[in-house]
Amino acid sequence: MASANDLVIKETSKTPGINFSRGLLKMSGRSIPEDGIVFYQPVMMWIEEYIKSPEPLTRLDFRLEYINSGSNRFVFNILKSFEECHKSGGSVIVNWYYEEDDDTIKNLGKDFASLLEIPFKLVETVG
């Protein structure tokens, strides 16, 4: 059951589903919002509040099937926020899921992992 401290955004054909509850952030689907700022700004504000007092372990599960270049910046900013949380003593793990034949999402995950100092695991799934 969701609590008042949870963040839940339903997935649409253009925006990812986001479910953040008790230290587990799940983001899945497509990220091609018409206005990335309108979609991601409330998410970033929620994360800003969360990292002030995070759970002992925060796990981020990204299962994005498509992400446009405009959304890349917002996803990177989400990861960057949790990198700061990690550097200040919080325990953070990122799982970046990609389908076995999806080099675009796989390489995006590799790029993010190379730019961040945070435990980052690339996880191949079979479509």
Q: Which pTM was predicted? A: 0.93
Domain membership flag for residue 61: no
Residue 1 inside a domain? The answer is no
Does residue 64 lie in a domain region?
A: no
- Residues 20-65 have pLDDT tens digits of 998 999 999 999 999 999 999 999 999 999 999 999 999 999 999 9
Count of domains observed in the chain:
1
Q: What is the DSSP string of the chain?
A: ---TT-EEE---SSS-EEEEETTEEEEEEEE--S-HHHHHHHHHHHHHHHTTS--SEEEEEEEEEEE-HHHHHHHHHHHHHHHHHHHTT-EEEEEEEEETT-HHHHHHHHHHHHH--S-EEEEEE--
Does 92 fall in a domain?
Answer: yes
User: What is the C-alpha R_g of the chain?
Assistant: 14
- C-alpha 88/C-alpha 2 separation (Å) is 27
* pLDDT exceeds cutoff 70 at 4: no
What pLDDT is stored for residue 126 in this prediction? 86
Q: Is residue 2 part of a domain?
A: no
Quote the pLDDT of residue 101: 94
